[in-house]
Amino acid sequence: MTIESGVRRIIVGVDGSAESVTALQWGCLEASLRVAEVVAVLALEAACHQVASYALPAPRSVGGSWGAARDVLRRSVSEAITLFPDVILRTEITEGLAARVLLDQAAHADLLVLGRTAYGPDPYRAAGPVIRACLRASVCPVVIIGSDPMAPKIPPDPKDAADTKDAPHPAQREPERWQRHLEGTGAAR
């Protein structure tokens, strides 16, 4: 899906985390392959969205939060620009709930790219609410980046490999913990 001007567009959600920076770099790499522009979007949630609907929000300096958002976006974009100087990279800060802002931007995009932060010891935990909302409602394909895909892959040393004739067939292996969990939910079908 391209917009009227014929420019392909990749939307990347940025929040300043290492995963969102990695997602931005991946989006720039993909844009260089697709001859597309990248729009780095940072959603700035208003104070009224951060409290219960019946509570009065505490007064907050509006200028400070916009300034901090600009700094986060600037830091996130700076490395991607140096790695991919030929990619057109625009930035946008929009006030609103993150999922709604990203979905609105993705309505006129070819791809939505998000970084998934893995907290805790379980790297296979469920995605957060923003990712779930985008996966559920986006009109364009959504790519979730969980780790640094640009890190150099170190091939395994053949001397360290075990004898493969004694290894069980992949279908006979014990499933991973997250796979066993999915089997009971019907999601593995």
Q: Over range 150-167, report the average pLDDT.
A: 48
Cα(15)–Cα(10) distance, rounded to whole angstroms?
A: 16
- What superfamily in CATH does domain 8-155 come from? HUPs (3.40.50.620)
pLDDT 10s digits, 71-82:
888 888 888 899
pLDDT band at 65 (very low <50, low <70, confident <90, very high): confident
Is 97 or 125 the better-scoring residue by pLDDT? Answer: 97
Number of Cβ atoms within 10 Å of the Cβ of 11:
28
Name the amino acid, one letter, at 161: A
Is 53 or 92 the better-scoring residue by pLDDT? Answer: 92
Position 76 scores a pLDDT of: 85
Task: Give me 185's structure tokens.
Answer: 């939910």
To the question of pTM greater than 0.85 for the whole model, the response is no
Q: Is the pLDDT of residue 59 over 80?
A: no
Number of Cβ atoms within 10 Å of the Cβ of 3:
12
Name the amino acid, one letter, at 30: E
Name the amino acid, one letter, at 4: E
pLDDT 10s digits, 101-156:
999 999 999 999 999 876 655 656 667 889 999 999 999 999 999 865 455 443 44
Position 2 scores a pLDDT of: 44
Per-residue DSSP letter, 164: G
Cβ contacts of residue 175 below 8 Å, gap of 6+?
183
Mean pLDDT computed over every residue of the chain: 75
Cα(101)–Cα(96) distance, rounded to whole angstroms?
A: 6
- Side-chain-side CA neighbours of residue 97 (13 Å): 12
SS3 category, 62: helix
Number of Cβ atoms within 10 Å of the Cβ of 182:
15
Cα(30)–Cα(87) distance, rounded to whole angstroms?
A: 10
